[in-house]
Structure formats: C-alpha cells, structure tokens
Amino acid sequence: MTAHAEPPSTRVTPAFAAALDKFALATLENEPGAVYALDRDLRLCYFNPAWFRFAEVNRGEPGISTRFPLGTPLAAAISGPLQMFYLASYTQVLQDGTPWQHDYECSSDTVLRRFHQRCYPLANRQAMIIINSLAVEQPHPVAAETHAADEACYRNQHGLIVQCSHCRRIERAAQPGHWDWVPAWVAVQPPHTSHSLCPPCYDYYYRFRRGTLPRPQ
C-alpha cells in the first residue's frame, strides 16, 4: 500500500473529508480510475490524482481543473443533452442511498474508449463517490467508414454542426437521421457545434435508464 500525504485543499473539501464513511480516503487516492465526488447539493467536492491524468489524456487539462474547481455545481460542469440525465440520476442515488452504474463513451478520432461509471452514496447521504473505469480501449471500429469534414453536407440551416454527445458522430444536414463518423471533427471540434444524442445512443444508453430524459432537439 502506497503511503499518501493528505490531498491538497484544491482536491478535497474539509466537509467531504469529514463526511467520508464507507471508503478510506487512501482507497480513493489509490484508485487507478478517475474519481470525483459530489456533495448533497451536487457540487464537486473531491478529485483523485487519476482524475487529472484522465483529463490530461482527454486534452482537458489544464482547463478542466481551473474551469471547474471544487465547489462548482455539476450543472455547470456538464452541458448539453446529458446534463439532465446525470443530475436526475445522481439526485436519485442520494435519495435512494443505493449504488448505481452506467456506461459511457469518450472516444478520440482514432481510439474507441468506453468507460464504466459506478456511483456510491455515502451512508450518511451527505455525498456520493463517482468512480470511472476504462472498460474498452481499441482502434475505433468505424474508422473504416470515415467521412470528410464537409461543411456543405453537415452544417444545417441554423448554421450548426450537430454531434452526438455519446458516440460523437455527426448528423447530415439534408438527411436527418443519418449520422456519420467524421474524425477530423472529433479531433478538433468545429465552431458552432450543437450536441444532441443520435437515436440508438439515446435509446440504449439513456432513454430506458434511470429517470426520464426528454428527447434532445
């Protein structure tokens, strides 16, 4: 077991450290997956060291930790069609006092990454722990069917590119319901991108899961 110094105040709030039951802080510190915690008002109250490594790999650092410091409401850290899903799900975890799990995708232009997320309410329900584990990492299977970043094909009448928040495919402007893998726009998000969920992702990962999520526009 690795010895740990106390995590700095930029990574843990005193209230969370005091409320922590059912887990030793060292367990969360040593967890190889990215861990964060939310207090009863769904504000960020803890990050483990792996959370910053995860953010760095996903090109989030240093932006994420400065944009979303401890105390940030989750509603400010998650935008788009997934916000209501996570807010409702986490609220219910704290209400029920029972763990909940969920799979999600966070791929790059060439690598498919699927994560498993486990959420544990503390016994006193003052906070919950969210542990993210990498479940699948492989060359992106749809890379063979790539499409060029063609503005004329994908930018819609409102001037927006519509991307699925889950699988990151892009919807064709003239053929709604057709979603293509456009790696150049996964690598670098084009300006004026709007996030939605494609129908299969919405149904399989969100619609029939915990809570009710209105179909995103």
> According to CB under 5 A, which one of 19, 42, 93, 201 is a site residue for Zn ion?
201
Least CB distance to Zn ion at residue 168 (A): 7
Q: Between 22 and 215, name the residue whose CB sits nearer to Zn ion.
A: 215
**Chain length of the chain:** 217
**Cα separation, 204 vs 181, whole angstroms:** 19
Residue 198 binds Zn ion, judged by CB under 5 A: yes
Residue 4: CB minimum distance to Zn ion, A: 39
Closest approach, Cβ 82 to Zn ion, in A, equals 11
Cβ at position 180, least distance to Zn ion in Å: 11
Q: How many other CB atoms sit within 10 Å of the CB of residue 188?
A: 9
**Residues 193 and 163 sit within 8 Å (Cβ to Cβ):** yes
* Smaller CB separation from Zn ion, 25 or 78: 78
- Residue 37 is given by DSSP the state E
44-47 β-sheet, strand order = 44-47, 34-39, 127-139, 111-121, 100-105
Task: Give the interface segment with Zn ion, choosing from 9-17, 19-27, 128-136, 198-206 (CB under 5 A).
Answer: 198-206
CB of 11 or CB of 168, closer to Zn ion: 168
Which CB, 162 or 201, lies closer to Zn ion? 201
The kind and range of the H/E element at 44 are strand 44-47
| Contact status: 42 vs Zn ion (CB under 5 A) | no
> What pairing do the DSSP bridges indicate for beta strands 100-105 and 111-121?
antiparallel
Does 82 help bind Zn ion (rule: CB under 5 A)? no
d(CA 93, CA 170): 32
Q: How far is the CB of 147 from Zn ion (least distance, A)?
A: 15
Residues 143-172 that bind Zn ion (CB under 5 A): 164, 166-167
Which helix (H) or strand (E) covers residue 96, if one does?
A: helix 83-96
**Which spans of this chain sit near Zn ion (rule: CB under 5 A)?**
164, 166-167, 198, 201
